[in-house]
Amino acid sequence: MAGSGHAGGVERPSELARTAKDRSLLYGFLANVFGRQPTLTFLRHVRAPRMRAALLEANVHLDDDFLSGEEVPVLLDLTAEYTRLFTGPGRRVPPYASFHVPAADEPPTRSVAHEIDAFVQGCGFPAKRRFNDLPDHIGALLRLMARVVGLEAKAWQAADPASAGRILKTECDFVEGLVGRGMSGFCAKVVTETESSFYQQVARLTAVFIRSERNEVRRRRRYLARPSPTADCGPASLKCARRMRRPVDASS
């Protein structure tokens, strides 16, 4: 896990754009992990030297059997675990944010699912649904945020702080609101229920990333609020994301 970056100097919009791209890539990778059954293409992507190095840099330690075993048996085990956890009969971890929001955080007037759906609709491009899936599927929400943070990067590139500010408000609503709390609960459940080192390690990475995003989004909003931004800005996004270009099926 990378720490904050710059020890001094002014953080430029080009740097904010670059690190927003990093964050978008990581959201896309996590969406692929939790949003669909693994494929052989995805397994090869994860086991590639560049991705393995990126995951190690993020403190994700996968076991030797996963990294070096024969492809087909490893893929079959991974697919079976995905089904057991998320899609099969008696699934252990429903992959929906609303299932994992603590009761104390539930809104008094509308259901959690309704509130999350309202957030998704308010983003301007609804999360893609597979078949008749619910709008708060973890994979769909992560993919939605990959798109939102990608728009933030474009706003910085275009030197458009007004648009960046509006997009950061959406990101803040995600990580600070019901979606972020549901995401944290989902990750905790995966860590305790899975029998796969891959899903356990990536769930831990996701939880850490969502927590770091709360600080990162606040920091960026403070940056925009300054009449003359100065030195203590340091991007907290993961270095590993820079090595993940391009995530498998990130555009789907």
Which pLDDT does position 242 carry in this prediction? 53
Which pLDDT does position 123 carry in this prediction? 74
| CA pair distance 138, 144, nearest whole angstrom | 10
| Side chain identity, residue 39 | T
Which pLDDT does position 126 carry in this prediction? 54
| CA pair distance 232, 214, nearest whole angstrom | 17
CATH superfamily of 13-243: TorD-like (1.10.3480.10)
Which of 29, 30, 11 is CA-nearest to residue 156? 11
Which spans in 36-176 are helix H? Answer: 40-47, 49-57, 64-68, 71-82, 112-122, 138-157, 161-176
Which pLDDT does position 12 carry in this prediction? 86
Which pLDDT does position 143 carry in this prediction? 92
| CA pair distance 173, 128, nearest whole angstrom | 19
Which pLDDT does position 98 carry in this prediction? 87
Which residues in the chain come in under a pLDDT of 70? 1-10, 104-110, 125-133, 228-252
Token pair for 118:
């309202």
Which of 129, 132, 133, 154 is CA-nearest to residue 144? 129
| CA pair distance 52, 57, nearest whole angstrom | 9
